[in-house]
Structure 1
Amino acid sequence: MKIAKIDVIEAVVPFDDGSGTPIHAPGKWTTFDMVLVRLETDTGLVGWGECFAYSCRTAVAAAARDMVAPLVQGRDLPERPETLTLEVQQRLHIFGRYGIAMFAISGFDIALWDLAAQARGVPLHALLGSARESLTAYASLVRYGDASLVDKHCRDAVREGYRYVKLHEVDPEVIRAGRAACGPDIGISVDVNCAWTPEVARERIGVLRDINAQWVEEPVFPPEDIRNQAELNREFPVGAGENACTRHEFARMVEAKAVSFAQPSVIKVGGVSEFMASAQVAQSHGVAVMPHSPYFGPGYFATLHVSSVLPGEPLFEHLYVRPHADIAVGGTPLPHEGRVRVPQGVGLGFSLDLRAVERFRV
């Protein structure tokens, strides 16, 4: 079975975050930049993947078309997709092991795993291990910087049945407002997105303890500052890894004891292959895996599959916004009462709804 046809599809899908911010407002994140990979075999199977592309769509699409696609076109579908993915990584190492090149590779790897599962007539998770049928989800709020908006959306999430909420706030009073709105029984984490210096992060540990946060995510810039991250992790649980690519970066983090929660992103880290390898590295060091997944395309479906086979109690990150289109045929499995079902159909379980996405294609 060979890869006979490759398509790279670009789209920009707006979303509503409940803040009242107009679409395309300057300085605000209001759209999903998407680069989707479609692989078709000579037997007619179609596999889907997704590359991370937020604010870098044209560069990622160019890398997918010009760098990765020529190395995959016409190749035999391997029994284990990671063999081909690792070959592609090696061929492209001169362009850098992280960022744009790896985002593009990630999308192809996901699509290859989709095809591998379809070829065997099983769900993707069946190739990875023993899977749960559903996962506990948490509501991942965008950064509002406004206590009243945080209060509203935390209360809405709890009312909808979420037992876990993530804030993306940096101001202590806004963070406290989130805890007050959720009440004492809801698990809360705080994602800072590298906004603090190490000194500020240490000062804010008291606030994090006061609200009984489960972890603080990417507390300092740069995210590869493992030394300061390890020092903070000794004082308070740190989650990180959404900006890490390949198992090797995760090995450095966990060996330095810089994280309590490893957070690979399947559309950034190198696809399913590197996600599973990174998870194994983390687990071998006793570090829990909490996947990063603020997206709604094939990467969302892939995250459900890989999360379903993780040990312990992984939480599924559901970005708490409303996209203007559901681009999946049959609909995307969304959380209900704080739980989300894992797709049980053959392969990834995703197929692109061409009618739904058509007006957003670029």
Structure 2
Amino acid sequence: MKITGLETFCLDYRMPYPLTYARGEYRSREAVLVKVHTDDPDIFGWGEAAMWGGPWATTATVLEKQIQPLIVGQDPRRLEYLWEKVYQETYYHGRKGILLSCLSGVDIALWDILGKIAGQPVWRLLGGFARPLRAYASSGYYRRGYSTNDLANDVAAARAAGYLGYKMKVGNIATAVHARVLDETPLRVSLGEDFARVRAAREALGGDLDLMCDATTSLDARTAMTYADEFERIGVRWFEEPTQPENIAGCADLARRTRVPIAGFETETSKFNFAALIDAGAIQMVQPDLIQVGGITEARKIAAYAQMRHLGFSSKNYSTAVSLAACLNLLYALPNGDYFECDMDPSPWREQILKAPLFDLDAGMAQPFDRPGLGLEIDEAVLATWRVTP
């Protein structure tokens, strides 16, 4: 079997309302899907490449002009070889950023192909630990006309829907590390106002479920410590991306001084950078983004290293059904897989583009499935509704 080419699907969806966090405000959701074809017309794979905020054209060009020539004619079952081939042949201007995000999309698609060839779900090929995953709702942005009571009501609704936890945004304060550059970010709050939001969410969720807080790499270590002190009193399950990932020493110092586990970093890439964070003691919940970190092939190595250090592993899941499926399959396979993120914000790409539901949620637990590959059945006619030309 040989790879014959790939397609890119650039998607755009304008949300009914803007979402604000410490790094800015966005009104649209964007994504780039990758479809890898083989010389068997019935065997193809879906992947997704992160392109957060960048133009579609740059991601599509890297995929079509740089990576595609490196993989066409190759056996799609040689996943480790193809990952290294692309990584090493683009080494001098790759290693991180857009190149690794694009490689993520291709890698995920190749795992989808391998599962279809084997007639097995990817999670089983990855080791098949097969434990149902705890699911938490993820939202809690800053919004215009959205009060603390509104946030509490949404948290209560997530509890009523059966989710076992809730994650919200924090850190949109005037002293955010990037505030002097991103000075037009709206809805800045004081520390006291931010803490009031977290306390309201904690009360609405109840003491028996988990509350997580995400600062999206927005704080210096000292300010993050102020947050962590309050989070200990409130009862927060983990503090996500409190600092920038480059600030390993600051994040490690924070982790040593708080009992709240530090989660991260979805904005970091490669096993080497995650090993540095883990070795420094900077993170206790290891949490990459599969469509940015290097795909399933790279993420499973990070997960294995996390297990060696007795750390939990989760994954960012905040895009389309393709990244959702990749996250599920990897987490199902892991003995240290912990929590599955369920994006609650407006998007048609979690369910509407699928011909059948991807997973069942039973008492807050996402149950493993037996469909081959990633388990996706994408309706391309429906997908075309949001497809744009880069």
* TM superposition score category, shorter chain reference: over 0.9
Determine the C-alpha separation between the residues in 2 that align with 1:230 and 1:21: 34
SS of the residue 2:207 aligns to? coil
CA distance change for structure 1 residues 52 and 168 in 2, over 3 Å: closer, same or farther?
same
SS of the residue 2:47 aligns to? strand
Match of residue 35 from structure 1: 32
In the superposition, the TM-score normalised over structure 2's length comes to 0.86
Task: Confirm whether residue 224 of structure 1 aligns to residue 246 of structure 2.
Answer: yes
Q: What is the root-mean-square deviation of aligned Cα atoms in Å?
A: 1.8
Match of residue 358 from structure 1: 384
Determine the C-alpha separation between the residues in 2 that align with 1:291 and 1:239: 10
Task: Confirm whether residue 113 of structure 1 aligns to residue 128 of structure 2.
Answer: no
Match of residue 162 from structure 2: 161
Determine the C-alpha separation between the residues in 2 that align with 1:123 and 1:332: 12
Match of residue 152 from structure 1: 153
Q: Which amino acid aligns with 2:249?
A: R
Determine the C-alpha separation between the residues in 2 that align with 1:47 and 1:350: 9
Q: CA deviation at 1:180?
A: 1.6
Would the aligned equivalents of 2:119 and 2:373 in 1 still touch at CA under 8 Å?
A: yes
Determine the C-alpha separation between the residues in 1 that align with 2:3 and 2:343: 33
Q: Which amino acid aligns with 1:233?
A: A
Q: Which amino acid aligns with 2:104?
A: S
Would the aligned equivalents of 2:108 and 2:326 in 1 still touch at CA under 8 Å?
A: yes
Consecutive unaligned residues in structure 2, runs of 5 or more: 172-193
Runs (4+) of structure 1 exceeding 6 A deviation are none
Determine the C-alpha separation between the residues in 2 that align with 1:342 and 1:224: 36
Match of residue 82 from structure 1: 80
Q: CA deviation at 1:67?
A: 1.5
180, 186, 192: which one pairs with 2:203? Answer: 180
Would the aligned equivalents of 2:137 and 2:158 in 1 still touch at CA under 8 Å?
A: yes
Would the aligned equivalents of 2:132 and 2:367 in 1 still touch at CA under 8 Å?
A: yes
43, 47, 58: which one pairs with 1:49? Answer: 47
Counterpart mapping for 1:274-293 below 5 A: 274-293=298-317
CA distance change for structure 1 residues 33 and 334 in 2, over 3 Å: closer, same or farther?
farther
Task: Confirm whether residue 127 of structure 1 aligns to residue 152 of structure 2.
Answer: no
Q: CA deviation at 1:87?
A: 1.1
Q: CA deviation at 1:336?
A: 5.0
Match of residue 195 from structure 1: 218
Deviations 1:104-160 (A, max 9, x none): 000000011111111111111121112326321100114126412321210110111
Counterpart mapping for 1:166-315 below 5 A: 166-170=167-171, 171-220=194-243, 222-236=244-258, 237-312=261-336, 314-315=338-339
Q: CA deviation at 1:167?
A: 1.2
Match of residue 184 from structure 2: none
Q: Which amino acid aligns with 1:121?
A: G
Deviations 1:43-65 (A, max 9, x none): 22111100012212332222111
SS of the residue 1:97 aligns to? coil
Q: Which amino acid aligns with 1:300?
A: L
SS of the residue 1:267 aligns to? helix
Determine the C-alpha separation between the residues in 1 that align with 2:357 and 2:383: 13
Would the aligned equivalents of 1:301 and 1:343 in 2 still touch at CA under 8 Å?
A: no
Determine the C-alpha separation between the residues in 1 that align with 2:140 and 2:381: 28
Task: Confirm whether residue 66 of structure 1 aligns to residue 65 of structure 2.
Answer: yes
Would the aligned equivalents of 1:139 and 1:162 in 2 still touch at CA under 8 Å?
A: yes
Determine the C-alpha separation between the residues in 1 that align with 2:220 and 2:164: 30
SS of the residue 2:293 aligns to? coil
Determine the C-alpha separation between the residues in 1 that align with 2:365 and 2:237: 19
Would the aligned equivalents of 1:164 and 1:188 in 2 still touch at CA under 8 Å?
A: yes
Consecutive unaligned residues in structure 1, runs of 5 or more: none
Determine the C-alpha separation between the residues in 2 that align with 1:30 and 1:343: 34
Q: Which amino acid aligns with 2:127?
A: G
Mean alpha-carbon deviation: is it higher for 126-135 or for 150-159?
126-135
Task: Confirm whether residue 5 of structure 1 aligns to residue 38 of structure 2.
Answer: no
Q: CA deviation at 1:313?
A: 5.4
Determine the C-alpha separation between the residues in 1 that align with 2:13 and 2:263: 28
Determine the C-alpha separation between the residues in 2 that align with 1:58 and 1:5: 18
Deviations 1:204-235 (A, max 9, x none): 22210111111101111x22211000011112
Q: CA deviation at 1:187?
A: 0.7
Would the aligned equivalents of 1:160 and 1:336 in 2 still touch at CA under 8 Å?
A: no
Deviations 1:322-362 (A, max 9, x none): 32352122234364542223332111111321121112100
Match of residue 90 from structure 2: 92
Determine the C-alpha separation between the residues in 2 that align with 1:281 and 1:245: 15
Determine the C-alpha separation between the residues in 2 that align with 1:5 and 1:278: 29
Mean alpha-carbon deviation: is it higher for 152-161 or for 170-179?
170-179
Would the aligned equivalents of 1:250 and 1:282 in 2 still touch at CA under 8 Å?
A: no
Equivalent pairs: percent with the same residue?
28
SS of the residue 1:322 aligns to? coil
CA distance change for structure 1 residues 174 and 334 in 2, over 3 Å: closer, same or farther?
farther
Would the aligned equivalents of 1:138 and 1:317 in 2 still touch at CA under 8 Å?
A: yes
Would the aligned equivalents of 2:104 and 2:290 in 1 still touch at CA under 8 Å?
A: yes
Count of aligned pairs between the two proteins: 353
